[in-house]
Amino acid sequence: MKRALIFILAALLLTSCGQTEEHSATVFAMDTVMELTAYGENGEAALEAAKTEIYRLDGLFDRRNEDGEIFALNKNGGGEVSDDTAGLLRRGEEIRALTGGAFDMTVAPVMDLWGFYGQDYRVPDGAELAAALEKVGGEVTVEGNTVTLGEGTLLDPGGIAKGWASARLMEIFREKGVTSGLVSLGGSVQALGSRPDGTPWRVAIQDPDGEGYAAVLSLTDTAAVTSGDYQRYFEQDGKIYHHIIDPSTGRPADSGLRSVTVVCRDGALADGLSTALFVMGRERALDLWRESGGFEAVFIDSDGGIAATAGLRGLIRSDKEIVFCE
Ligand code: AMP
Ligand code: MG
């Protein structure tokens, strides 16, 4: 009897270990370091499939890759693309419409001018900016798998590609039978299910001024994507120029924010919105939240103040005071 009990206990222990076994991988793609974690016995296979998918999507979406589809669209002013690229661009266009153009993949010529593309940084003069802005805001039509770009229009999907990829990785994890996992692609985090012990994932929001974190989110089955002025920037004559461009001015967005984190189920939407809300600033961002809903957000402003939308009550904590917005 006693031996049988020990046997059952040992078997239970083994299966529970099997279920919570952690598998992780680090990948460098899309210009950033990516950490992937999957739990359970299918974790390793899921990670292998996830890595293959990341490299494939990076190949398609990297506009420097001459074999990629974004490169080809930019070169030819349009063309036939895969379901992935068509889906990414359709999503990007929806977010452009939703945010009144604060998110706009056609900012590519301005990104190039500032040297963010290729890290050849410089501050352009007004005439150069005006010329580049002429090419921003053009038409991007996606009909089935056929894409047509307006005259001179160039695409930069960098503001949505990581979130799109993280959403795909969740699908792959599920297909492989993984029910608990987390991917962090640069500032773009997406969680599958909860932690193996059933508690929510804890996702830190970086302190824009330091190495530590400003707040921690408790999340289950959702994405949390941060756009911040500290993620990519250069300094010239004591001034910081960061990589989130206001498409209406062609200059780094100056909306009084240091970072915006968007929480929502759809990784691509979270990514596109994080970029857009950073451009829009807190008040316009809150107007959009009240009107359209479907996401929550955390704003860290230039003074270090933290504000969050009301839906995050109980899901965010910080050593600092958090102002909840209704
Ligand atoms: P994120 O880090 O997601 O906020 O995206 C920033 C990246 O998106 C930049 O490096 C550019 O490639 C691109 N980008 C910059 N400004 C915009 C904008 N206003 N709309 C769409 N994409 C942008
Ligand atoms: Mg983004």
Tens of pLDDT, residues 51-66 = 999 999 999 999 999 9
287 alpha carbon – ligand 1 mean position (Å)? 21
3-state helix, strand, coil in the chain (%, to 5): 40, 30, 35
pLDDT at residue 2, rounded to an integer: 52
Rounded to the nearest angstrom, the distance between the alpha carbon of 244 and the centre of ligand 1 is 5
The pLDDT of residue 11: 46
- 206-244 tens-digit pLDDT: 999 888 999 999 999 999 999 999 888 888 888 889 999
The model's confidence at residue 116, banded by pLDDT at 50, 70 and 90, is confident
pLDDT, one tens digit per residue, over 258-301 is: 999 999 999 999 999 999 999 999 999 999 999 999 999 999 99
Does ligand 1 lie within 6 Å of residue 272's CB atom? no
**130-163 pLDDT, tens per residue?**
999 999 999 999 999 999 999 999 999 999 999 9
What percentage of the chain exceeds 70 in pLDDT? 94
Q: Is residue 12 pLDDT above 60, yes or no?
A: no
In the chain, % of residues over pLDDT 90: 87
Question: Which pTM value belongs to this model?
Answer: 0.93
Sequence-distant contacts of 125-134: CB under 8 A, at least 24 apart: 129/250, 129/251, 130/250, 132/250, 133/250
Q: Which residues contact 198 (CB under 8 A, 6 or more apart)?
A: none
Q: Which atom of ligand 1 is nearest to the CA of 245?
A: 16
Helix or strand (DSSP H, E) at 42: none
Domain locations in the chain? 61-158
Ligand 1 lined by 270 (C-beta under 6 Å) = no
Provide CATH code, domain 61-158: 1.10.3980.10
Token couple for 3: 């031996």
